[in-house]
Structure 1
Amino acid sequence: MSTSSLSHRFTAESSADLADWSGPELLDAYARKTASPVDATKAVIARIEAYEPKLQALYAFDPEGALRDARASEQRWMKGEAKALDGIPATIKENIATKGTPVPLGTAARPLVPAAQDAPAAARLREDGAVILAKTTMPDYGMLSSGLSSFHPLTRNPWDLSKNPGGSSAGAAAAAGYGPFHVGTDIGGSIRLPASWCGIFGLKPSFGRIPIDPAYYGRVAGPMTRTVRDAALMMTSLTRPDMRDPTSLPYQELPWLDLSIDIKGLRIGVMMEAGVGMPLDPEIRAAVERAAKAFADAGAIVEEVPAFITREMLDGLDDFWRQRAWTDIAPLSDEDRGRILPYILQWAEGGKDLSGAEVYSGMNQMMVMRHAAVAATHRFDFVISPVAPCVAYPAELASPIHDPEKPFEHIGYTVAFNMSDQPAASVNAGFTKTGLPIGLQIVGRRFDDLGVLRISQAWEDMCRDSRPWPKLA
């Protein structure tokens, strides 16, 4: 039987746009033959073609390849051979290699050499039948909480095109309307910050929970989705082992899709102040306070968590990462160095004259931060906080205050939980009066990724200010 005749046997069960459907909804429709992977992929392609000229969230968009994979998925469903995620549309952050596609790391300074193989996250999704439509944009070397890049066009926020989506998983957050599955990376807030500013769910898992290649200090990959349940479904695939990551955790077959939790009696800490950096926006404060009250009303024991990040910690981290970036940039020719985003180049140049002792001291401050995070949160089952002190800022800026001498004033709530290996998520907590999303950070104990998903699902169910994905006319 031909693919075209197969397609006629699948009829979309409602007039709703399949690009808006969740992963579980699509799998259910495929199983009942009321929609097909080809239908869903075509719907996402149509959404991309309509929205992408304004959002600029994608890199290496491959509609023909996606349709080819969707047709193969459709055949598997018809034969009763469907895989776990068969036919679900997905995108992958640009720095997660996909075979045959160059990995510019957001910068015009790198040569465009096709990747030899899929990195672990891409490999797992492809093995399970997900349809990868494109890569998503990121800033130079992933070192900005911004959609600004010297290689990619400026990525914009779908809730307000004059605003920034955040970063460094900029495109993954902005592209959340392009089907259910998106993968980002995070080393200081790069999943949670754009998730917060784009109103989606983003999970920074425990360090090592999702194998990653190349692995590096604090670096993780994680799902970025419109719903918690979509992220949980992705975790069934992304967490499978891969020998290329020597820092990965022993594999556990956890019940990722069991998202039920009894809130009564849980000890939930509220960390309202970061301790350093930008002041907290009053509307964000009010949203976190509403969340704390909702958990308390549901029976949780809610207590304050004092700020623990210090200026010395944040400046030490800044010193280390400046020098780390300069190590990559220094060997480049003057011509290639001139292609780097000027903000990033100016920031990295601040590391070239640091002594070994200063760099070591900076790295040591990251360890101090790690111990402080665990000490501050260990008494609690979960800790909630703002994700960022501000909401989305102007699209053309490299950071909320746009100052390379003060690059990390907005990551005080997020970065410590990369250093401490703890799982942490951003889940939408509502919107400002002007309609910009506000993120709630939910932090768990080390390795309790499933618990973070469960409490995030509970909050998603409780949050009164939920809105459909914005439509771009």
Structure 2
Amino acid sequence: MTKQSPGHALHELSAVQLIEGYRRRDFSPVEVTQAVLGHVERWEKHLQALYLLRPERALEQARASEQRWLRGEPLGPIDGVPLTLKDNIATEGDPTPLGTAAVELIPAAADAPPAARVRESGGVVFAKTTMPDYGMLSSGASSFHALARNPWDLTRTPGGSSAGAGAAAAAGYGPLHVGTDIGGSLRLPAGWCGIFTLKPSLGRIPIDPPYMGRAAGPMTRTVGDSALFMQVLSRPDSRDSMNLPAQDIAWDRFDAGVGKLKGLRIGLLLEAGCGLAVLPEVRAAIEAAARVFERAGAHVTTMPPFMTQGMLDGMDHFWRMRSHIDLKALPPERKTKVLPYIREWADSAAGMSGEAVFRAFSQFHNTRVTTVNACRAFDYVLSPVSPVPAFPAELPSPTNDPLRPLEHIGFTVPYNMSEQPAASIQCGYTKEGWPIGLQIAGQRFDDLGVLQVSRAFELLREPPRPWPQPPSEALEHVD
């Protein structure tokens, strides 16, 4: 297996292209894994996206995959494809630090569902990816991991909490990455790193531990790779009490063509109703994307905002109390290791009354009902992923204010609570060259439909800019 795909380095190939290449014996999983590891070595000192990078273990997995392909017996749809898993997705025998120096590093007893599914399908897990403390920031700031950066501009954040995964996907650390999302932690880094992601309907991808609004999802450069990955990640697991019943979804029919858009009722949401104002560059990119849908025959209607500041604040305050209780249970010497921004945010809940906590918690249900009602008239809803582009890497949030930490998630968090699928896909760039993400949300359980609409837009949008390269390579290319 030595023939290389013309025109593309092996690390740049999509998972779909890799599987086809393995089938034709154009190249092997070992050659691809070596190429990815070499590319990671050139990038990682700049991005700091990875945790538990283990080249030898990766090559061992790749050699086993190579033998299966030579026998014509691949384990599953992603056999031999290099991939990463987020820090908080447990892998047997490895510690799960959750992005914070405060967590005791105890080896996990078993693979979490996403890790189990990729291993069963022969995926080559070569590393895990970094995240901020407890996943409670939309940045790569962490008291345990080095500061993660955005490959499009190293002064900018990749977003979070799936920080390393977003950076790794954009930088070409192999085609497949798994992140998690409870308020935007898949879609925000996807939007700011210019990649694609699907936050699926709650329970579509089993996760352990399950929690209200928490979802795992694929992070990839293309819609097709996420659709391929869904074949693996969506297999059921009884450990997730919120796992949806097993369903035979034709993920391979993700490409329904641009005709999928004709006649669709599309809602266009340009203001969240809470949090930060949408910057003009972001609004212009979303409006341009909506015109693409209109030209393809969709009926686009501008929606009034449906979120309120009270809803956002209520969820924020409840999460503060949850984190305050968690941090209070830590020995004092370990609590001091938590990122100061997170400590201040959590401890601000110390004086909340029982009534205040109840009222805060009630905003989760209020958000759920309001979101479902607002989306009922539409097949899909378009909006910004974030009101602002990627902010400076060193900041924990766009506001840099622990008492206003979630002002940028007004477009993303509603769909965690309503359990609806929502994707992020690149739809433009700022004048500085930073990607802008378009969010495409669908009705609950219509995960395949969101992929199909995303694929149609992928076909119709302006061609994306070339992916960023490691700084030394970029300079060599210019010379």
TM beyond 0.5: yes
1:199 to 194, 203, 206: 194
User: Which amino acid letter does the alignment assign opposite residue 185 of structure 2?
Assistant: S
Q: Within 2, Cα distance between the matches of 1:468 and 1:253?
A: 36
Q: Within 1, Cα distance between the matches of 2:32 and 2:355?
A: 55
Partner residue, 1:217: 212
Q: Within 2, Cα distance between the matches of 1:297 and 1:47?
A: 40
User: Which amino acid letter does the alignment assign opposite residue 195 of structure 2?
Assistant: I
Give yes or no for contact 1:172–1:184 (8 Å, CA) kept in 2: yes
Give yes or no for contact 1:305–1:377 (8 Å, CA) kept in 2: no
Which of structure 1's runs of 4+ aligned residues deviate more than 4 A? none
Following superposition, the deviation at residue 355 of structure 1 comes to 1.5
- CA distance 1:106–1:46, shift in 2 (3 Å): same
User: Secondary structure of 2:106's partner?
Assistant: coil
User: Which amino acid letter does the alignment assign opposite residue 125 of structure 2?
Assistant: I
User: Which amino acid letter does the alignment assign opposite residue 223 of structure 1?
Assistant: P
Partner residue, 1:127: 120
Partner residue, 2:300: 302
1:44 to 36, 51, 70: 36
Following superposition, the deviation at residue 14 of structure 1 comes to 2.6
Instruction: Give deviations 1:22-77, integer Å, cap 9, x for gaps.
Output: 01100010011111100110011001111000000000011100000000000000
Report whether the alignment pairs 1:278 with 2:271: no
User: Which amino acid letter does the alignment assign opposite residue 146 of structure 2?
Assistant: P
Instruction: Give deviations 1:99-126, integer Å, cap 9, x for gaps.
Output: 1110000000011111111100011011
Q: Within 1, Cα distance between the matches of 2:274 and 2:216?
A: 26
Partner residue, 2:184: 189
Q: Within 2, Cα distance between the matches of 1:70 and 1:191?
A: 27
Report whether the alignment pairs 1:251 with 2:246: yes
Following superposition, the deviation at residue 191 of structure 1 comes to 0.2
User: Secondary structure of 1:185's partner?
Assistant: strand
Partner residue, 2:418: 420
Give yes or no for contact 1:156–1:395 (8 Å, CA) kept in 2: yes
Give yes or no for contact 1:432–1:438 (8 Å, CA) kept in 2: yes
Partner residue, 1:6: none
Report whether the alignment pairs 1:229 with 2:221: no
Partner residue, 2:235: 240
Partner residue, 2:146: 153
Q: Within 1, Cα distance between the matches of 2:100 and 2:5?
A: 43
Instruction: Give deviations 1:304-355, integer Å, cap 9, x for gaps.
Output: 1110111111111111000011111001121111100000000000122212
Q: CA RMSD in A?
A: 0.8
User: Secondary structure of 2:352's partner?
Assistant: coil
Q: Within 1, Cα distance between the matches of 2:100 and 2:288?
A: 40
Partner residue, 2:101: 108
Partner residue, 2:461: 463
Following superposition, the deviation at residue 11 of structure 1 comes to 2.5
Following superposition, the deviation at residue 465 of structure 1 comes to 4.1
Q: Within 1, Cα distance between the matches of 2:217 and 2:181?
A: 8
Partner residue, 1:372: 370
1:13 to 5, 9, 13: 5
User: Secondary structure of 1:257's partner?
Assistant: helix
Give yes or no for contact 1:273–1:307 (8 Å, CA) kept in 2: yes
Following superposition, the deviation at residue 15 of structure 1 comes to 5.2
Q: Within 2, Cα distance between the matches of 1:15 and 1:36?
A: 17
Q: Within 1, Cα distance between the matches of 2:431 and 2:81?
A: 34
Identity, in percent, stands at 57
Q: Within 1, Cα distance between the matches of 2:132 and 2:463?
A: 31
User: Which amino acid letter does the alignment assign opposite residue 413 of structure 2?
Assistant: V
Partner residue, 1:180: 175
Following superposition, the deviation at residue 467 of structure 1 comes to 1.8
User: Which amino acid letter does the alignment assign opposite residue 230 of structure 2?
Assistant: M
User: Which amino acid letter does the alignment assign opposite residue 45 of structure 2?
Assistant: P
In the TM superposition, 1:343-382 aligns within 5 A as: 343-382=341-380
In the TM superposition, 1:328-339 aligns within 5 A as: 328-339=326-337
Q: Within 1, Cα distance between the matches of 2:463 and 2:383?
A: 18
User: Which amino acid letter does the alignment assign opposite residue 271 of structure 1?
Assistant: L
Partner residue, 2:476: none
